[in-house]
Amino acid sequence: MRKRWKERYQRQSIQAVILSALTGVAVFFFLILAIIFTNYMGDILENFIREKKGQQTEFLAESVEQTCKEAIDFFDTVYYKIIKKEKLQEEGFTKLLDFVCEENKNLVGNLVLYDDQGDILYENQQEDVQILSKEKQKEMMQKAKSHVGKTWFEKDGSFQDILLYRFVEINHDGEIQPAVLAGTLKYQRIVQVFQMQEDESYGYSYMKTADGTLIYHPKGLQLQHGVYTEKLGMKPITADGIHEEKLEGKRYLVRQRTVGYTGWKIIGIASLEEDLYEEYPINLLIWCLLGGMGILVICINRYIVQKITGPIQRLSKRAEQFDDKDLDKEIEEEGTYEVRQLAESFNQMRKRIKQLMMKAVQKEQEYWDMQMKLLQSQINPHFLYNTLDSIIWMIESKRYEGAAKMVTALAGFFRISLNKGEDFITVEKELLHVKNYMEIQGIRFEDKFSFDVEIEENVKKYICPKLIVQPLAENAVYHGMESMYGDGEIHISAHEEGEKICIAVSDNGEGMVGEQIKQIMEQKVVSSRRGSGIGVRNVDRRVKHCFGDEYGITIESEIDEGTVVKIWIPKVEDMNEYWKENFSGESAADFSSHRGISVEGTEGDSHRNFRHSSKGV
């Protein structure tokens, strides 16, 4: 029997084995859980609700009593501190009452003082008490006289706030006369008490007078429009406490509590049916029980799962350790059929990845080598042709000095352009290269524009990609100076700003709008037949490729004000060290090889300060 079960297990898939084991254990423990809930949960829930609803109703009653006491204390203060001590005719009497009413406006809505004839002796300019009828005023006077010192609370249907009043004596022209001090307790204060103290998880509560008139109900708007009718707790109950009521076949718990000072009744309603099983206390109990059962299930199944998934865990661990430095290490094939298949597939994938990585590195290296060389070699042949043509013209015109200067500048221009095949040069040599270019253009175009090249001493030693400034200078000559006649100016400078170096080419040409700048940076503008063809966007790509996306070109331009194109590069003296520190730990040799670029050594470079004008050429 044991051997047969072992053979059957070995033929099963790992998914079937795990599902069978876990399902069997889960069904067993959930049956136990269902029995526990069936036998005990009803009593636990009911007792819990009784306790919570009782506490909630008690808190509400105490809060309402506190609010009523605040209103009574306010009336006592007004009577004993102001009305009893001050004369009615004095100006300070009205000011004191206005001040007290303003300080307690969140508690008492308004305040009115009536004499025994119903005439208003004081009012604080609010709306509700003023509409009381003469009969109501007479009734208030009779009640107030019958219980001197008591503050009465009434729910008058003519307005929302609670009416409160008490008997007082006033000094009217030196004569003591009876009067009634009336006001309204803000209904919003009652609403705030219920909203702050009540938890909807345990039903709802409302408040009514001793004769059944509703003072507050959470569904007051529905009651007002007849959409909802309260049927629970509306029958008169002589004593406070908890009892049960039935409505439409459902059981409800009703808790009554009488409010001191007023005789109002707070009625708390909670359902004892299935809808409360979805609330917080039941959920908490369920999850505690399920958590305990879950821990027990985990302990029981731990041994089973460990035996079944052990080979998978070992395979997963080896897969996590796999990287591009571990391509030659194969994974051992062990475990069930599925695990052995995974290990075999993983080993095949490893071999395929190794082949693809080698091909990708080779293609990437070839691509960037071609790209960089192409970008650096796109010097417009028209420039060379026009320059040689200008030299011939100068020689024929016997302007030998100008021709000699142009030949010298052209030789320097191409010597730096070739640069022994290297891709990086110092900032000093790059600006010397663009100076040679501008001297040639200055001679060719004679007095059409002037230029100067300026470099700070401390940035000469830093390294930049070769031929990144000349295309910008060419654009300034052919595009910026296109509409200029003798008063064009081009300024080229290199200086440091914080941790970056800024190489700027500015002109006072016609400028550009924002849309033109956007098109240039997105490489949507076709280069002019007179331009270099490298383009601003290609220079930007080269800089970002070498140093990262935080560097590159920015353009500032305004119509009729000119254009400033800035190249931002980091302060780098050794490109190998820079790549080693900033590009994912690649070795300098691997990185430079990967990007198809070489670096010029900086030792032995001459350092000269460039600040020239075409007028001195």
Which residues, listed in sequence order, are joined to residue 570 by a DSSP beta bridge? Answer: 500
Q: Are strands 488-497 and 449-455 parallel, antiparallel or unpaired?
A: parallel
Instruction: Specify the residue for token string 């809060």.
Output: 63
Q: Provide the pLDDT for residue 283.
A: 55
Q: Residue 168 and residue 148: Cα distance in Å, rounded?
A: 8
Q: Provide the pLDDT for residue 118.
A: 78
The answer to whether residues 588 and 580 touch, using CB atoms and an 8 Å cutoff, is yes
Which residues, listed in sequence order, are joined to residue 567 by a DSSP beta bridge? Answer: 503, 553
Which residues, listed in sequence order, are joined to residue 55 by a DSSP beta bridge? Answer: none
Q: Residue 33 and residue 367: Cα distance in Å, rounded?
A: 67
Name the residue among 244, 236, 242 with its Cα closest to residue 265: 236
Q: Provide the pLDDT for residue 420.
A: 63
**Positions of the chain with pLDDT lower than 50, given as ranges:** 128, 280, 526-533, 584-617
pLDDT tens for 195-209 read 887 776 678 899 988
Name the residue among 445, 615, 435 with its Cα closest to residue 530: 445
Residues ≥6 apart with Cβ < 8 Å to 204 = 198, 218, 268, 269
What does the chain come to in residues? Answer: 617
Q: Residue 52 and residue 68: Cα distance in Å, rounded?
A: 24
pLDDT tens for 314-345 read 777 777 766 655 666 777 777 677 777 887 88
Helix (H) or strand (E) holding 45, with range, is helix 14-77
> How far, rounded to the nearest angstrom, does the alpha carbon of residue 22 sit from its chain's CA centroid?
41
DSSP tag of 545:
H
Q: Residue 402 and residue 390: Cα distance in Å, rounded?
A: 10
Name the residue among 281, 264, 246 with its Cα closest to residue 50: 281
In 590-612, which positions are buried (b, 16+ CB within 10 angstroms) versus exposed (e)?
ebbbbbbbebbebeeeeeeebeb
Q: Provide the pLDDT for residue 103.
A: 86
Name the residue among 119, 118, 126, 76 with its Cα closest to residue 98: 126
Which residues, listed in sequence order, are joined to residue 118 by a DSSP beta bridge? Answer: none
Q: Residue 325 and residue 315: Cα distance in Å, rounded?
A: 18
Which residues, listed in sequence order, are joined to residue 500 by a DSSP beta bridge? Answer: 497, 570
Q: Provide the pLDDT for residue 458.
A: 92
Q: What percent of the chain has pLDDT over 70?
A: 75
Q: Residue 273 and residue 269: Cα distance in Å, rounded?
A: 12
E strands, 116-259, are 120-123, 152-154, 162-172, 175-185, 204-208, 214-216, 241-247, 250-258
The answer to whether residues 301 and 22 touch, using CB atoms and an 8 Å cutoff, is yes
The CA-based angle 418-419-421, given to 5 degrees, is 75
DSSP letter for each residue of 441-460: HHHHHGGGEEEEEEE-GGGT
Residues ≥6 apart with Cβ < 8 Å to 140 = 114, 132, 152, 165, 180, 182
DSSP tag of 531:
S
